[in-house]
Structure 1
């Protein structure tokens, strides 16, 4: 029933977004935090394979903040759901992603997946930064300066616009929808392929989904 509901919902969304044989890129935002088990599960098992498959059709924004909050506008640091190490991890990722603005989404998600799997940034370890070929000295300078604070304040602002009740929160388009959120957590590729039914990367995935419904 859950999948049927989201298929109907996303189909309606698709009618509003895809008006020609050439699909428009869809904006996707992921709100997450560096030590959240659910964020790790989504990014490694859902987001990364989906981005590898559909990156040509998406515009991705990654917001590493979650249920954190700034103290005295960030000048007294931040308070995070999973403690100070999570704040450190969020900050490292904000700085690294800022330096990766010219890179593609596959590279960005590969970097974030590394951080989520190893939690390197939460320990001040630059292993994932180095793997992503991001200048370590510039990340360290960002983390210890006002630049890092401003990046996390920006992520806080973006997160507060949504006021997520659950982390990670995934928004397809511009407006949060609970059914889309639930379906994205369960099958992110399938959710997007319900929109991009006419593109080659989705055809096999979409057809296999349709066959399962026929067999039910």
Structure 2
């Protein structure tokens, strides 16, 4: 189940049934909330089949293409960090059924001929390392988990020092040694080279970061709107039937109290 569906189930079940923060027994099942709507059998075991059916019924038509948002950024750029934590991640959390996010950590970096230091970055060597760590995380983990990890890093006081704990929190099955090996080995370099090629291929060429494209195209107007209200922009750009989050339509479940 996608995160938006999970959030709808978790929030609505807890608020409508029990009152947020009030007493509510945990479902008698062995699955975490993120798996409740994965299958009908799990939903029945966790006693949330009706809620899962209602949430699934409100999902957009998957035949309509979602809004593709690509962010070209740098790991230590203050404006990039603010956009990721205050606009991109919260919007994706609510609208991931109608949007796809691609993260390209590179930004204003440049390739060097030196074997010891193949890249130079706007905010110094720590940023180059941060870019490569995030590129490796994107490669080694499933996309939604990678986005959670990168959000966790970018929202932390120290991006680099938070990397291991954020990885352990959201992808405990991926040992840090794999990320470290990627960063120090040829794989990390190849991933950064690919990001460099993607960034250099931008048309028009990027002049700053964060640089945001929608469905592969850049306009200053859309970027300005994204910086102030990405949520509203994605809802407007989506061509299908708007999901309840966009329209403000209520999704009501059975109301009871404890």
Q: Which of the five TM-score ranges fits, normalised by the shorter chain?
A: 0.7 to 0.9
Cα distance change on mapping 1:52 and 1:124 into 2, 3 Å: closer
Corresponding residue number in structure 2 for 1:159: 199
When structure 1 is superposed on structure 2, of 194-203 and 30-39 the one drifting more is 194-203
Matched residues in 2 for 1:90 and 1:124: separation?
14
Once the 2 structures are TM-superposed, how far is the Cα of residue 180 of structure 1 from its aligned partner? 0.6
Which residue of 134, 137, 144 maps to 1:93?
Answer: 134
Which residue of 109, 121, 133 maps to 2:147?
Answer: 109
Higher percent of residues as helix = 1
**Residue 37 (1) aligns with residue 70 (2):** no
User: Do the aligned partners of 1:89 and 1:123 also contact (CA within 8 Å) in 2?
Assistant: no
Matched residues in 2 for 1:21 and 1:36: separation?
35
Give CA deviations for 1:45-94 in whole Å, capped at 9, x if unaligned: 00111000111112221001110011128663210001111001001000
Larger Rg: 2
In structure 1, stretches of 5+ residues that fail to align are 1-19, 206-216
User: Do the aligned partners of 2:156 and 2:162 also contact (CA within 8 Å) in 1?
Assistant: no
Alignment of 1:159-198 (within 5 A): 159-162=199-202, 163-196=205-238, 198=242
Matched residues in 2 for 1:125 and 1:54: separation?
26
Once the 2 structures are TM-superposed, how far is the Cα of residue 122 of structure 1 from its aligned partner? 3.1
User: Do the aligned partners of 2:69 and 2:102 also contact (CA within 8 Å) in 1?
Assistant: yes
Matched residues in 2 for 1:88 and 1:127: separation?
16
Corresponding residue number in structure 1 for 2:41: none
**Number of equivalenced pairs:** 183
User: Do the aligned partners of 1:89 and 1:119 also contact (CA within 8 Å) in 2?
Assistant: no
Corresponding residue number in structure 1 for 2:244: 200
Once the 2 structures are TM-superposed, how far is the Cα of residue 179 of structure 1 from its aligned partner? 0.6
User: Normalization by structure 2: what TM-score?
Assistant: 0.65
